[in-house]
Structure formats: structure tokens, C-alpha cells
Structure 1
Amino acid sequence: MKELFNKKSWQTLLIALFTILFAIVGPLSSVVQASATATSIEIDEAALAEGLDQDGVLRVGMEANYAPFNWSQTTNADGAVAISNSEGEYANGYDVQIAKRLADALGLDLEIVKLEWDGLPPALESGMIDVIIAGMSPTPERLEQMDFSDSYYSSDIVLVTTADGEYADASALTDFSGATVTGQLNTFHYDLISQIPDVDQATALDSFPTMITALTSGTIDAYVSEKPGAMAAVAANPALTYVEFAAGQGFDLGEVTSDIAVAARKDSPLTPMINDALATIPTATRDQLMEDMVNLNVRGESTGFWAEVAGIWNTYGSQFIQGAITTMFIALTSTILGFIIGLLIAIYRSLIVRRDHQPVGYIFYKIFDFIIAAYIEIFRGTPMMVQAMMIFYGSRLFFNVQMSTMTAALLIVSINTGAYLAEVIRGGIKSVDKGQSEAARAIGMNHYQTMTTIVLPQAIRSILPALGNEFVINIKDTSVLNVIAVTELFFVTKSAAGSTYLTFQTFLITAIIYFVLTFTTTRVLNLIENKMTGKKNYHVYQSSTTAANQEEL
């Protein structure tokens, strides 16, 4: 009986202790358990919310075009995460896996935003993304613009070359003397090339898939890369190899580090919390993650050029079609809106406002005319790519206006098209004989009636070829919108090329699609033009009086 009593007493005591323990630990919501580890980190919820653009969501920007750190694929296999701004596309790689662990440790949902490499810093500064996790190193120049976390990976700098080339057995930088070498644009890799004696430093290229294509085609002899990127390139391309250097035989990094870190906005409260979260990921786990990601890039021997083209289409065909639809939608909508803008401007500039009759109206007319002239000159005199970067990121940075990429695309292409068509339509209006306008005014028609019933029908018919040409140009010019991550045809193409390393095969498919779009559009526009022009042979009907007079003559 006594033993039974003691047993019940101990059970009661344990239950009481556990109850007290849960009562103390439960309310401490600021302690979040990090997944995949047994370590907890303390989080200041107020500071965390301050560092995020959207509560509860960690928006991570990356290129998704730099294996094994990050790449894109068509399924969520192997732990891939959906890309928020590209439907049907998923991001995977070492950076993605690190981002997933950081989001879990901070108790946040993860959102991946795919951007061009050059678009990552302005996207971070403008608040479009919260952090950059894209294999980015904290160079002195970048440290002036943004804060960096502790390193989450460190690697050696190597040179990638062809396996059967003359530099495959090199062991020192001096062995690359006279070689043509390049690196990725806007990275410290490119700045290191000058350390190679008598090197032919080629123009920097925009991405690693592009450099791989240049290397395999013989345009360059080697390119600079981190070792993991080189390992992934070799895994996907057996014809390549990479050269490592012993101490003192390779690149001197100086103040630059080859460490990879998470970039955040200046003085962001996220940085110390990210450092705490990174500390929960053991080095062994990081090394194993990198090995796994490199292994995912292993690709078998080439099956032949056309078989590779067919394979790309089978895998990415739906994305190519969706990209083409987006391209046509942007081009058609923007050409129509641009035509309306140009038409309104051309009509306004055709108004006759006399200074002696309307002095106040004349002043306002001249002011607005100056603004219109400035708009036309600015948008005709600057590249659309520059306009896209300034409007999309500048609107958020300076005016706190958040536009979707599609809204920004339509706005950018429309106002650019409007600037060109304003002058085209004005030229069409001037081509109509002035005597017709004078005759219209003589019979009592006002300016609006004259323009809509006499001048514009003739002007528009005369500028139809120019309008069609502008539409075709817009189909191709939408490709520059990839700098703001619009998922048009060119954006999809770069994703497929970056994932497969088959750049030429991928761009061949894209070239065919662009040709089909522009050829079909041209034929349809020619048909419309012929319909509006009317019949080539026509009969002139005469009154009986006119006919009688001609017979007398």
C-alpha cells in the first residue's frame, strides 16, 4: 500500500512539474525552434516585422541561373520552391536550401523572387525583396550599398576551361599567359583576370551559361568561377574541366573575399537574426548540401543536337508558349495604348492657338507643348531597358509605389511607343493637303469635326505601315523587360538555358518562335492595310449634268 502511495505521489509530482514547465515556456513565443537542428534562436518580433516588406514572409531574391547555388526547374522535385513571379517555375540549389532553413529558423514563409543579377541590388534597396541569397560575395563596393551576414559558404576561385584544350593541365596563372579569359559582369571575378600575365581579357558576359557557351564554342579559352560553380558546370558538361591553384600560384584576392553571404538593406534588423539562424546550420550540413546540389547537375552524354532541342521543348514547351503569349499581350496592348497616346498628342500639337486672340490660352498651350516635347525627346533618346529600371525600381524607391511586373511592362512599353508614334501620326496629319482643312472650315466645320471626319482617316491610312512596323518592333523589344523580371519569352529562354546549359539549342527554339510571331503579325497587318486601302480598280460615277457637259466638249 505504501509503495502504491509513493508511486502515485511521484506521478502527481511529475505532472505538476511538467505543468509548471509548460506554463513558463509556452508564452515565450519569441523563441523559435530551428528546423533540422536542435538549436533555438531568440527573435525580436518587432524588429523582424520592421525588416520585412510583408509580415510573416521572407522574400529572397536570386538569379536562379547559377548552378549549383541556384537554378530553375519545371517541378518541385528535390526540395525546389515555387518562384513567385514566374508561374510554373521552381527554384532549387544551395542558396534555396539555405533560404529554406533560414525561413524556418525565423518562423517565416519563404518566397523566391527571380531577378536578373544586375536587378538584385536595386530590388533590395527599393524593398521589392528582403534579402539576396544568390552566391553573392561581400565586396568593398557592395558593402557600401548593403549589409552582409556571416559567411554561409566559402570556396576557392578557379578557372574553367575545355578538358581537351591546351590549358587543361595548367597549374599556375602563368600557364594561362596569352589566353582569352572572361568573367561574369559586375562581379569581382572579372577584376581578377588582369593578374594573369599577358592575358587577353574578353568582354564580361552576363551569366555563367553564356560563358559556358562561349567556352565550348571556342570564343574564349577560360572563365573565372567559384569551385562549386565549376564543379556543376563540369558535371553538366563532360567536355569541360577546371583548374585549381596551389597556394601562391592562383589569384590574389586582396581585400576581396570568396565567402558567400546573405545581403540585406543597410542597417536592416534582419542581419543579426540571420547570423543567429546561420549559426544553427552545422558546417557538415552545409558541405553535404553543396555536394547534393552539385550531384543534381550531373547530365549524361550528349544525345545529339536535334535530340537535345526536342528534349528542351518537351521539358520547357509550356513555358515557351506562356512566354510567347505574354510577349504578344504586352506588344499588342502597348501598341494600342501607345497609338492612343500618340494620337492625342498629335491632335493637340496640330491645334492653332493665336497669341493675339487668346494670350492666356496661348501661354498654357506653349507650356504643355514644351512638356510634350520633353517627353518625346526623353523617351525617344533613352533605351527602353534604362527606362524599365528607372520606372520599376524608382517608383518604389522614391514614391513608395509598388507595381506588378506586368503593370510596369505595359506602362513602360506604352509610353515609349507613344513617344515614337506621336511624331509618326503628326507626320501623317501634315501629309494631308491643307486645302482640305481650309475647305472644311469654310463650310463651318470646327477643328474636332475636321480632324475626325477628314484629316485623321486619311492620316491613319497613310501611316498604317509605320504602325505595323512599331507593333513588330514591340514584339522583339519586350525582351528588354527581363531586367525587371517580366516572364516574357526571353526571360523564359534564359531560365531554360541556365538550367540545361544548352544555350544555342534553347535560343534556336526562341528564334523560331519570334520569327513565327513576327511573320504572322506582318501578314495579318498587310491584309488589314489592303482592306483599308480599298480596291485597286474602281469606277468613277458621274452625274447626268457632268456627263452631258463632257459630251458637248
Structure 2
Amino acid sequence: MDFSFLPKYWGYFNYGVIVTIMISLCVVFFGTILGILVALAKRSNIKVLDWLVRLYVWIFRGTPMVVQIMIAFLWMDFTDAPVIGFGTVDLDFSRLLPGVIILSLNSGAYISEIVRAGIEAVPKGQTEAAYSLGIKPFKTMRYVVLPQAFKNILPALGNEFITIIKDSSLLQTIGIMELWNGAQTVLTTTYIPLEPLLFAAFYYLMLTTILTGGQKLLENHLGKGQK
């Protein structure tokens, strides 16, 4: 094993990890908001809205993410977006914005199902009790149902965050300098074929292991609250 490249090219991995985490946080944030809105739209009595969100979920859950990324990059025109130097890598927003948008749309489709299941897991008696107290449906959903549902879906959101950390590597197909693309840059520069990829895989493994540990701590904390 030849890891002699690390002292010189360490920055490609470190800054690549930071970019990966930044992308994943943005995607989880926007994907969660979108997922909640889609889940609520599915429960509405507006048939057109319900049909549109079901079509959206069907498309994004039924097509490969890498295909969605390429379509978004070719379709969305952000040619005037800036390129900002970030350590040893460059953040090209003409590529970053389509990547974040499409990953958020994809994540929102999956999170909507997580939120829907979380809402349905809340006992119907909670809603009925709120209605009996004269609380309007919107406020019942906001103040009674969603807080309890959010507690149910937090572990699943943790799993989604871990998935996005790994799936963000697909953004290298449109030239975003995240961790995997950084590793490939080191590979093509040093002509060392295996070790840069192994080191990137190690970084991904460390990230997902830390997140999995944090998720277990959160689940244990929530479990104590239920007891």
C-alpha cells in the first residue's frame, strides 16, 4: 500500500469531506421541509394537489438518482453562478446548485413517506381530543400531531442523512468537488489507482459510523422519554 501522496494531497480529502457535509446538511434541511409539505398535501382534500404530489413521489422514487442529477444539470441554467475557491477545491455553484436542488427533491420524496408514516403512527384519539376542545384542524396538525410525529420520524431522518452522505458521491458525475471527486482528482494526478479511493472510502466509513452512533444515542434518549 502506497499512501505517500497523503501529505501533499491531504487537502483534497479534508475539504472534500467538508463540502460533502455541507451538501448533505442542505439536502436534509430542504428535503425535510419539502417532505413535510408533500405529506400534508397528500392528506388534503384537494384532489389535484394530491395527484400532483403523488406524481412527484412516483417519478423521484422510480428513477435512478444519477439520471435525475444529469437531467437537472443539463436542464437548469446557472451559468452565471460564481466559482469560489475553498481551500484546495473550488465550489462551482453552476454545478452545486443543480446538485443540491435535485438531491433535495429526491430526498423530499422519500422523507414525505417517512413523515406520512409518522403522522399515521400518532393515535387518532389525539386528533379527536383536540377537535373536541375546539382546536381547528390546522392548529391540531401543527401543535398536536406534528410534534408527536416528529419524535417518531427523527430516527428515520438520521438514516436519510447517512444515505445522503453516501449518495452525494454521485454528484461527481457533474464535476462537483466533494470527497469522491477529490479522491479521483488525486488518483489522476498521482497515477496511484487504489489507495486514494481506499482512503476516501475510509473517510465515508468514519462519517457514517459517527452518524450511526449519534443516531443510536438519540434513539436511546427518545426511548427513555417514552418510558
Q: What TM-score comes out, normalization by structure 1 length?
A: 0.38
Paired position in structure 1 for 2:63: 382
Residue 72 of structure 2: which of 391, 396, 413 is its match?
A: 391
User: Which of 309, 313, 327 does residue 20 from structure 2 map onto?
Assistant: 327
Question: Partner letter of residue 333 of structure 1?
Answer: C
Between the two proteins, what is the percent identity of the paired residues?
A: 38
Question: Which residue number corresponds to residue 89 of structure 2?
Answer: none
Secondary structure of 1:404's aligned partner:
helix
Q: Which has the higher contact order (CA 8 A, sep 6+)?
A: 2
Which residue identity lines up with residue 340 of structure 1 in the other structure? Answer: I
The alpha-carbon distance between structure 1 residues 532 and 475, as it changes in their structure 2 partners (threshold 3 A), is: same
Q: Report the Cα distance in structure 2 between the residues aligned to 1:503 and 1:410, rounded to whole angstroms.
A: 29
Rounded to whole Å, the distance in 1 between the matches of 2:153 and 2:79 is 40
Q: Please tell me whether the aligned partners of residues 461 and 533 of structure 1 are also in contact (alpha carbons under 8 angstroms).
A: no
Superimposed CA distance per residue, residues 391-431 of structure 1 (whole angstroms, 9 cap, x where no aligned partner): 111223xx988762221221111111001001111011111
Shift of 1:527: 2.4
Q: What do residues 290-325 of structure 1 show as CA deviations (whole Å, max 9, x unaligned)?
A: xxxxxxxxxxxxxxx2xx21x121121011000000
**Whole-angstrom CA distance in 1 between matches of 2:79 and 2:20:** 27
Decide whether the 8 Å contact of 1:323 with 1:487 is kept in 2: yes
Tell me the equivalent position of 1:432: 122
Cα separation, 2, equivalents of 1:418 and 1:513: 26
Corresponding residue for 1:490?
Answer: 180
Task: Report what 2:8 is aligned to.
Answer: 315
Give the aligned length: 216
Distance 2:226 2:49 in 1: 43
The aligned counterpart of 2:96 is 406
Q: 2:27 aligned with 1:346, yes or no? A: no
Separation in structure 2 between the aligned mates of residue 456 and residue 338 of structure 1, nearest angstrom: 16
The residue aligned with 1:117 is none
**TM-score normalised to the size of structure 2?**
0.88
Contact 1:331/1:478 (8 A) holds in 2:
yes
Q: Any idea what the Cα deviations from partners look like across 1:155-213, whole Å, max 9, x if unmatched?
A: xxxxxxxxxxxxxxxxxxxxxxxxxxxxxxxxxxxxxxxxxxxxxxxxxxxxxxxxxxx
Q: Distance in 2 between matches of 1:437 and 1:513?
A: 45
2:50 maps to 369
> Secondary structure of 1:444's match?
coil
Task: Give the match for residue 84 of structure 2.
Answer: none
Distance 2:144 2:63 in 1: 35
Deviations 1:209-268 (A, max 9, x none): xxxxxxxxxxxxxxxxxxxxxxxxxxxxxxxxxxxxxxxxxxxxxxxxxxxxxxxxxxxx
Change in Cα spacing, 1:400 to 1:519, as seen in structure 2 (3 Å) is closer
Q: CA–CA distance in 2 between the matches of 1:401 and 1:529?
A: 44
AA in 1 matched with 2:14: I
Segments of 5+ residues of structure 1 without an aligned counterpart are 1-304, 354-364, 538-553
The one-character-per-residue Cα deviations of 1:309-345 (angstroms, maximum 9, x if unpaired) are 1x12112101100000000111111011101100111
CA distance in 2, matches of 1:410, 1:529: 28
- Matches for 1:474-489 after TM superposition, within 5 Å: 474-489=164-179
Q: Which amino acid aligns with 1:350?
A: R
- Which residue type is aligned with residue 50 of structure 2? D
Q: 1:405 to 1:444 in 2, by over 3 A?
A: same
8 A contact 2:16–2:182 mirrored in 1: yes
RMSD: 1.9
Question: In the alignment, is the contact (CA less than 8 A) between 2:42 and 2:49 conserved in 1?
Answer: no
User: Residue 80 of structure 2 contacts residue 94 of structure 2 at CA under 8 Å; is this kept in 1?
Assistant: no
Comparing both structures, which one devotes a greater share of its residues to strand?
1
Residues 355-382 of structure 1 show CA distances to partners (whole Å, capped at 9, x for unaligned) of xxxxxxxxxx211211111111111111
- Give the whole-Å Cα distance in 2 for the aligned partners of 1:536 and 1:467: 19
**Residues 424-457 of structure 1: per-residue CA shift (max 9 Å, x gap):** 1101111112122112111101112211222112
Q: Contact 1:331 / 1:474 at 8 angstroms: preserved in 2?
A: yes
Contact (CA 8 Å) 1:335, 1:414: kept in 2 or not? Answer: yes
Which one of 461, 464, 489 corresponds to residue 151 of structure 2? 461
Q: Any residues of structure 2 matched to 1:192-203 within 5 Å, and which?
A: none
Gaps of 5+ in 2: 82-92
SS in 1 for 2:76: helix
Counterparts of 1:527 and 1:343, CA distance in 2: 24
Matches of 1:474 and 1:370, distance apart in 2: 27
Give matches, 1:410-425, under 5 Å. Answer: 410-425=100-115
Other structure's SS at 2:194 match: helix
Name the counterpart of 1:504: 194
- Residues 54-73 of structure 1 show CA distances to partners (whole Å, capped at 9, x for unaligned) of xxxxxxxxxxxxxxxxxxxx
- Paired residues of 1:497 and 1:506 also in contact (CA < 8 A): yes
Q: Per residue, is there more helix in 1 or in 2?
A: 2
What does residue range 146-225 of structure 1 map to in structure 2 within 5 Å? Answer: none
Identify the residue that residue 29 of structure 2 maps to in structure 1: 336
